[in-house]
Amino acid sequence: DVKVTQSSRYLVKRTGEKVFLECVQDMDHENMFWYRQDPGLGLRLIYFSYDVKMKEKGDIPEGYSVSREKKERFSLILESASTNQTSMYLCASSLYVGTTGELFFGEGSRLTVL
């Protein structure tokens, strides 16, 4: 089974703090993604990466950055957390997202920014 592991299930941070969310997958997938999920807004793509050291902006990249130094690890960074970044963050990986690909999601990291 594919396993996508997110380092923290629940985090509480203060406004202005730097936040790291880590994600590791064990299936040698090429693509990795960070989404946030908010009630009424659904899943929105923040960043994705299709190769080591490669990254592409998603639909809502403002206030976030990412790092992919190794194929299995994809980190999401909030340089200066703000209250509007309180959300559920979901990491996902896929071999190939296309006609027959699928996303495998981690369990999510619920971030609260006070």
Partner 1 sequence: QKEVEQNSGPLSVPEGAIASLNCTYSDRGSQSFFWYRQYSGKSPELIMFIYSNGDKEDGRFTAQLNKASQYVSLLIRDSQPSDSATYLCAAHTGTASKLTFGTGTRLQVTL
Least distance in Å: CB of 58 to partner 1? Answer: 7
17 versus 72: smaller Cβ distance to partner 1: 72
Least distance in Å: CB of 35 to partner 1? Answer: 8
Collapsed DSSP state (helix, strand, coil) of residue 59: coil
19 versus 47: smaller Cβ distance to partner 1: 47
Least distance in Å: CB of 64 to partner 1? Answer: 15
CA of 27: how far to CAs of 21, 36, 97, in Å?
A: 20, 22, 15
Collapsed DSSP state (helix, strand, coil) of residue 23: strand
Tokens 């064990």 appear where?
A: 26
79 versus 102: smaller Cβ distance to partner 1: 102
Q: What's the N-to-C CA distance of the chain in angstroms?
A: 37
Our measurement of the distance from residue 49's CA atom to the centroid of its chain's CA atoms, rounded to an integer in Å, reads 10
Least distance in Å: CB of 31 to partner 1? Answer: 5
Rule CB under 8 A: which residues touch partner 1? 31, 33, 35, 40-45, 48, 50, 56, 58-59, 90, 94, 96-103, 105-108
Collapsed DSSP state (helix, strand, coil) of residue 84: helix
